[in-house]
Amino acid sequence: MARNSFNTDNFLNIARGRIPFTSHINKFGYNFSVGSTYEVICDLGTHSYPTSAGVVSIVSASTADDGDPEGTGARTVEIQGLDGDYNPLIETVTMNGTSAVTTTNSFIRLFRMRVVSAGTGLVNAGNITASIGGTDIARILADKGQTLMAVYTVPAGKDAFLIKFQGTLSKNQEANFRLRVKEIDDGTSYNVKGIFGTFANSITYDYPIPLKFKEKTDIEIQGKAGATSEMGAIFDLILIDNTR
């Protein structure tokens, strides 16, 4: 598939795994309390990027998320991110309630967690927080079953093509969203790649010519509002092996 030949048929075939060396990432985030200064659209309201890989510590605020097959809360949680070489890495851990458990592997990026199995409550009972080196990186809010993080880092060996952005807010207020990125191998500064303003309405922008981000680029959506609001954001990326 040519790099600029995205269309509906190709999108369907990408989802079906029928286009070689090509995949899709849908990232969605939600922040339940955004104020008048920019915050990352995610459960924590902020997101940290470790400078070196480390094991992930996962702990719940509830003893019910104890890994017990006969219990009520979360049993196992899947962590999705990148290893120290920026290659995709997924690991599943068994929860132990308010006692932290750690991954076997080391992560340098963490951009999604989800509850894989749960007891009779079917979701996590408490907030489940993941940290690296003592810094909180991600959180699954109670009863949500998955992180809500409008954050992603392009894996090594991939080019990412941004094809769609959407932002929403909960109040009848003015709001701004901004897309910003940082290329790990090309400086240490964030660059804003888009700012979207609205008043009380959602924003959707389709990129007729996709924005290209190279491997190891951090991508995040931030938002701010005229009065404290809930804000959500979604973006879609097509990943293509950069050797093709």
Please give the chain's pLDDT, 244 residues, in tens.
444 455 667 778 878 777 788 889 999 999 999 999 999 999 998 999 999 999 999 999 999 999 888 899 999 999 999 999 999 999 999 999 999 999 999 999 999 999 999 999 999 999 999 999 999 999 999 999 999 999 999 999 999 999 999 999 998 889 999 999 999 877 778 999 999 999 988 999 999 999 999 999 999 999 999 999 999 999 999 999 998 7
Cα 98 to Cα 75: distance, rounded to the nearest angstrom: 13
pLDDT at position 1: 42
Would you state the pLDDT for residue 161?
A: 96
Helix (H, G, I), strand (E, B) or coil at 15: helix
Asked whether 207 and 236 are in contact (CB, 8 A), the reply is no
pLDDT of the residue at 107:
98
Q: Are 147 and 180 in contact (CB under 8 A)?
A: no
Question: pTM (2 decimals)?
Answer: 0.91
pLDDT value for 67? 86
Q: What is the DSSP string of 118-174?
A: E-TTSS-SS-EEEEETTEEEEEE-TTT-B--B-EEEPPTTEEEEEEEEEEEESSSSE
- With contact defined as beta carbons under 8 Å apart, do 79 and 90 qualify? yes
Which two structure tokens, joined as six digits, stand for 32?
């339940």
Quote the pLDDT of residue 149.
96
Per-residue model confidence (pLDDT) at position 7: 60
